[in-house]
Every structure is written in C-alpha cells, then in structure tokens.
Chain A
C-alpha cells in the first residue's frame, strides 16, 4: 500500500526567510501530489498541487518540486510570514485508485519567529 513520510516534524524559521518542507512517498504509481495547510481548529486548506508529468509548479510565494526518481516532493515558501505558521501535509493519490482517495503524510509544524 501507499505510505507517505515526512522528514521533519517541526520546522522553525525566521520571518522573511524561505521555508522548505519535505515529503517522501513510497508508491511509484502515485501521480497526483498536493500540499495542504492546516491551522488550529480548521480543516486542511489546499495550497498547491502537481501532477506527475511536471517536476515544478509555482504559486503565490509557494513552489512545489517533484522528484519522481527518488519519490520525493518538497514545498518551498518564500519570505515566510507569521501567518504561514501551521501544520503542512503532503498528500498523494494514484490513478489506479478511481476517485479521490488521498494518502496523507504525518505533517510538519512550521513555526515562524518574528
């Protein structure tokens, strides 16, 4: 089955610095990857996604990198702000699973120091 892991449970960064959150997945058939942000008391909020035919995708202040060779993806947040403090989850899915079943990583807590 699919398993998703995270390298660091907690990441502390200075406001204004760039943040990098990593995620490893196990199933080479995974072809859809998403990053979610979850703030206290709220459900996960979609940040950015990437499909397996790409290796990089950029959004507003965020970039997702996908390395299918080593089954690794990362989320880069530029100029990290206090409002970025939250738990970040990666999630993966595979087209052999019809529908929208996601397998989530354990989460990384990002703490932004002012």
Chain B
C-alpha cells in the first residue's frame, strides 16, 4: 500500500506570495491533518479534514487555509507569505474512526520564504 505523498517536496517563495501544498492520503484514509514543523516551535497542528469538512483547527492565522476533495486528497494554502512561514509542512492521514486513530505521516514539503 502506498504511503502518504506530498507535493512538492521543496518550494522557495518570496514574501507576499501565496503557496499551495498538496497531500494524497493512504488509500482508504478519510482523515487528513496538517502540521507545521519549525526548529523553534516544533510540530504544531494546523487543521484536520474529514469527509471534506474541517473537523479541527489549530491556532494559526487566517492566512492558512485548507480543503479536502471527495477523493480525500487535501490541499493547504498560505497567502501573503511571511519569513516565519518557512517550515516543514507535514500531512498525516488516518483511517476513519470515532476515536483517536494512528496517523501516518508523509515526508513533508519544505517551504522556504525569502
């Protein structure tokens, strides 16, 4: 079974631009979560989508948004990029369930904002 895939793997943008990152979950997984990883703040939860609906949202500004498609693929968008948005953006998918489920992480997208 193929793992979680994220595209692109690396991205360089300049301040003020916007960016869209993509995540394809493991086949059959309906929950997709996004995390931001930085050396200073560690791994921080951005949001989670389940059945095309945002189920949870972390404490990030509105410049960070996401969506999920009917095939469970998810995208996240960051508008008006700031230098502090430079990070590794990780996507995780899990099987549908009522409780807490094991999450499988992708390799991440490394975003550099210049």
Contact = CB atoms under 8 A, between A and B. Distances in A.
Interface of A: 31-32, 34, 36, 41-46, 49, 51, 89, 91, 93, 95, 97-107
B42 A104 contact: yes
A100 B55 CA distance: 9
Contacts of B35: 102, 104
Q: Is the interface of B mostly helix, strand, loop or mixed?
A: strand
B64 interface: no
Nearest to A94: B100
Interface stretch (B12-20, B71-79, B102-110): B102-110
B33 A100 contact: yes
Contacts of A102: 33, 35, 45, 103
A44 B104 CA distance: 8
Given A46-B102, A97-B56, 20 more contacts: A32-B99, A34-B102, A34-B103, A41-B107, A44-B90, A44-B92, A44-B105, A49-B102, A51-B100, A89-B42, A98-B55, A99-B31, A100-B48, A100-B56, A101-B45, A101-B56, A101-B58, A102-B45, A102-B103, A107-B42
Interface string B7-47: 00000000000000000000000010101000000111100
24 contacts: A34-B103, A36-B105, A43-B105, A44-B90, A44-B92, A45-B105, A46-B102, A46-B103, A49-B102, A89-B43, A100-B48, A100-B94, A100-B101, A101-B33, A101-B45, A101-B56, A101-B58, A102-B33, A102-B45, A102-B103, A104-B43, A105-B42, A106-B42, A107-B43
